[in-house]
Amino acid sequence: MKKTKSGYTLAEVLIVMIVIGIIAAILMPMFGNLRPNQEQVMLKKAYYEAGRIVTELINDDELYAETDKDETSGFANTAQIKYKGKYYGTVANKKFCELFVDKINVKGAASCQSYTLTNAMVKGQPATSKTFATADGMVWILPISTFGGGSGTYQSMYVDVNGDKGPNCFSGFSSLAASVTCAKSQGPDRFEIQVNNLGKLQVPDKVSQLYLETNKTSKTYKDLIKEKHWQY
């Protein structure tokens, strides 16, 4: 009996490849949506870390002794203290910064200096100045302040959640200067976290608020904005 050769014709191979391509085109967007919004994830981490440290500091009477007046309580109590054999608050407005740095895992050197945001974090460029960086790639600028004005006055910390990676800008929906903010159509990777003298945290812009309130991190920035019907 004559043997016949088995195999696929070129037409059959092409048909299979076309089918695979169609299936891939259908599934790729679905898999893409399963990837986390990394900036949202990292903002949540930064906010949690800031909250943890602020809570530790404000509740430690050794660091911030209670007073009977709101405007001199908490972080507004800038009296110099000795902690773990080291002095903090030798310069009154650096006490909060120095103690915060002591509570976080800093990569490299830290510097509690006063920086102008519009010079330190220009839109589209890596930060030129910082208080410190952390091992996970975040870059922080902390307030250099005596926390005067009482609990109604907030001081700002700024964090770039992915370091030198782009887009290097704050939310276009924030009230910050145009020289540091993204277009409203672009998701930010820099965020402002505010704290008052009694240790209360808040984020002032609505994108940051949305990121913190939303449990689903698989949605893109534009999907979240579209759901809120925000115009950009």
Taking only the tens place, the pLDDT of each residue in 194-222 is: 999 999 999 999 999 999 998 877 788 99
User: In terms of Cα–Cα distance, which of 159, 166, 115, 108 is closest to 138?
Assistant: 159
Residue 10 placed within a domain: no
Between residues 33 and 51, which one has the greater pLDDT? 51
Give the pLDDT of residue 36: 66
Phi, psi at residue 156, to the nearest 5°?
-105, 135
Between residues 216 and 152, which one has the greater pLDDT? 152
Residue 18 placed within a domain: no
Between residues 34 and 68, which one has the greater pLDDT? 68
Helices (H) and strands (E) in the chain, counts: 6, 8
Which range has the worst mean pLDDT, 22-36, 40-54, 65-79, 180-194? 22-36
What are the distances in angstroms from CA 169 to CA 159, 164, 179, 208? Answer: 10, 11, 9, 13
**Long-range contacts formed by 129-137: CB under 8 A, 24+ apart:** 131/97, 131/101, 132/101, 132/104, 132/106, 132/107, 132/108, 133/106, 133/107, 133/108, 133/163, 134/104, 134/105, 134/106, 134/107, 135/105, 135/107, 136/42, 136/45, 137/161, 137/162, 137/163, 137/165
User: In terms of Cα–Cα distance, which of 157, 158, 159, 150 is closest to 196?
Assistant: 150
Residue 156 placed within a domain: yes
> Is the pLDDT assigned to residue 173 strictly greater than 70?
yes
Residue 32 placed within a domain: no
Number of structural domains (the chain) is: 1
Residue with tokens 């870390």: 49
Residue 176 placed within a domain: yes
Residue 224 placed within a domain: no
Q: Which domain does 128 fall in, by range?
A: 37-214
Residue with tokens 């820099």: 190
Percent of the chain with pLDDT over 70: 90
Between residues 30 and 143, which one has the greater pLDDT? 143
What are the pLDDT digits (tens) for 69-114?
778 899 999 999 999 999 999 999 999 999 999 999 999 999 999 9
